[in-house]
């Protein structure tokens, strides 16, 4: 039976048995969702296991199976935790861990980690009607397509606005600025991913303003 620890080890936030924002590892190290997501990358700082949503105990059982009252206070060494994230095996990671690792690397400009996040067989799907539209099969082909898009219209990641996670993948909602021939456009974009083995297997790019993307990705001289 789960102990249902009552608080976040790092920040001390209350986590009652019906807390939807409780996260725990298999050893029941327990954190709030904000600390797990924003500070720890959904990885336990004690065992390097994944931090996933803790099941809620039905209210009808609270009296016969009460939660632990012992508050564990063990603030994380946030300077050391990035080394743990960088050296742990990732093959079995849940899609949420993989996507958050990728998003952090993208925001930080960590190109090595970004590239390592793609599986060798990664497939990139670009929509629209530009020359770059279609399926780019294999990591090398996908990277070449991304590089060509960036040459035609240099892009700047402004923010990662949301990370949506499911059992087989998820999506990043981002804001990017594209530039070409003195014109700039700031766009909201959705990148939907299939994730397996801790790596990105497939990506579909959905743009709210596809006609703008097509114009920015036109061939030189057209």
Question: Would you say domain 95-216 falls under CATH 3.10.450.50?
Answer: yes
Calpha distance 166→214 (Å, rounded): 30
Over residues 145-179, the pLDDT tens digits come to 999 999 999 999 999 999 999 999 999 999 999 99
Q: Report pLDDT digits (tens) over 85-121.
A: 888 888 888 898 899 899 989 999 999 999 999 999 9
- pLDDT at position 221 over 60: no
Residue corresponding to tokens 């009652």: 16
pLDDT for 22-58, tens place per residue? 999 999 999 999 999 889 988 999 999 889 899 999 9
Contacts of 15 (CB under 8 A, 6+ apart): 5, 6, 7, 8, 21, 22, 30, 32, 54
Domain boundaries, the chain: 22-87, 95-216
Rounded to whole angstroms, how far apart are CA atoms 96 and 110? 19
């Amino acid at each position: 039976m789960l102990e249902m620890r009552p608080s976040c080890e790092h920040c001390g936030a209350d986590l009652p048995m019906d807390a939807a924002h409780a996260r725990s590892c298999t050893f029941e190290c327990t954190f709030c969702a904000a600390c797990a997501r924003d500070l720890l990358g959904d990885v336990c700082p004690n065992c390097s296991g994944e931090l996933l949503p803790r099941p809620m105990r039905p209210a009808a059982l609270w009296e016969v199976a009460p939660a632990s009252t012992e508050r564990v206070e063990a603030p994380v060494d946030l300077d050391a935790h990035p080394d743990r994230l960088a050296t742990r095996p990732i093959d079995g990671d849940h899609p949420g861990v993989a996507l958050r690792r990728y998003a952090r690397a993208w925001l930080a400009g960590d190109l090595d980690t970004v590239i390592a996040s793609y599986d060798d067989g990664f497939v990139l799907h670009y929509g629209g009607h530009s020359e770059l539209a279609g399926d780019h099969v294999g990591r090398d082909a996908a990277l070449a397509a991304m590089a060509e898009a960036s040459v035609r219209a240099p892009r700047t990641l402004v923010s990662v606005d949301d990370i949506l996670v499911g059992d087989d993948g998820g999506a990043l909602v981002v804001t990017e600025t594209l530039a070409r021939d003195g014109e700039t456009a700031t766009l909201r974009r959705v990148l939907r991913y299939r994730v397996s083995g801790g790596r990105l297997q497939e990506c579909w790019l959905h743009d709210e303003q596809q006609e703008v993307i097509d114009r920015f990705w036109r061939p030189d001289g057209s």
